[in-house]
Amino acid sequence: MKYSLISLSLILVLAQLPFGDFNPKEPEEDKTPVKGWWMVSYFSVPPTQYSKAGKGIIKAESLGSRSSLFKEVGEKEKDFRVLSWRWKISNVVHSAIETRKERFDAAARVIVVFGKEKGFKIMEGMEPSGPKIEYIWTSHLPKGRIFDHPGEKYCKVFVLESGEGKAGQWVYEERNVRKDYKSAFGTESDGVLAIGIQTDTDHSNEMVTAYYSDPILKRK
């Protein structure tokens, strides 16, 4: 009977936790390449270090560096509309100016690549081509702002989080990527081809650590 009362009490406590609580343990990261993703490096810039940090968690460490991880979207998921993930940052990039090409660093960003399936080919080590949306955690720009990427054509940037008010916390995000595409480009999208993540400080030479849960595409 005593065991049953303890179990019941534990269940009641867990049931009262707010939705979205997400605080996985962060063990020592595995320095081997993150399975299922490929890295894209940029010219002579040192690459951001990505590593596994628990089941379904990727750790990004950037010190004056930049690189991305991308994964191909499965055949069944290409037409799904809703993308969800969690992310956490140690700090923002304080000197970043996201609307300027030479100052466009971000503590965390999730990239969605759109396009027609026909003719699409994954080239390991290269960034997939197609219209893009970047969801970013900015230093100063207000949440909700949408603007043209200062260094890329056919790429729109959505500000989801801003400043350090939530630094050190896991933050849940969910976006209807089809709706966002139409809002950004004025047309319907052809489906999702690939998803990427990027933490970069190559312009600022600052240091940031970010964590990402594996982004998941859902039907709705």
Q: Residue 198: which of 33, 62, 95 has the closest Cα?
A: 62
Residue 75: predicted pLDDT: 87
Residue 220: predicted pLDDT: 82
The C-alpha atoms of residue 207 and residue 90 are separated, in whole angstroms, by: 9
Residue 23: predicted pLDDT: 59
Residue 141: predicted pLDDT: 96
One-letter identity of residue 206: E
Low-confidence ranges of the chain (pLDDT < 70): 1-33, 117-124
Residue 1: predicted pLDDT: 42
Q: Return the SS3 of 195.
A: strand
The C-alpha atoms of residue 108 and residue 203 are separated, in whole angstroms, by: 15
Instruction: Please name the fold of domain 23-218.
Output: Jelly Rolls (2.60.120)
The C-alpha atoms of residue 194 and residue 73 are separated, in whole angstroms, by: 5
Q: Return the SS3 of 144.
A: coil
| E strand segments, the chain | 38-41, 49-52, 57-63, 67-72, 82-89, 106-114, 132-138, 146-148, 155-162, 171-176, 192-200, 207-213, 216-218
List the domain boundaries for the chain: 23-218
Residue 32: predicted pLDDT: 60
Residue 158: predicted pLDDT: 98
Residue 31: predicted pLDDT: 57
Residue 126: predicted pLDDT: 85
Residue 121: predicted pLDDT: 55
The C-alpha atoms of residue 110 and residue 69 are separated, in whole angstroms, by: 10
- CA count, 13 A, side-chain hemisphere, 202: 19
| 94 contacts: CB under 8 Å, gap ≥ 6 | 139, 204, 206
Residue 9: predicted pLDDT: 42
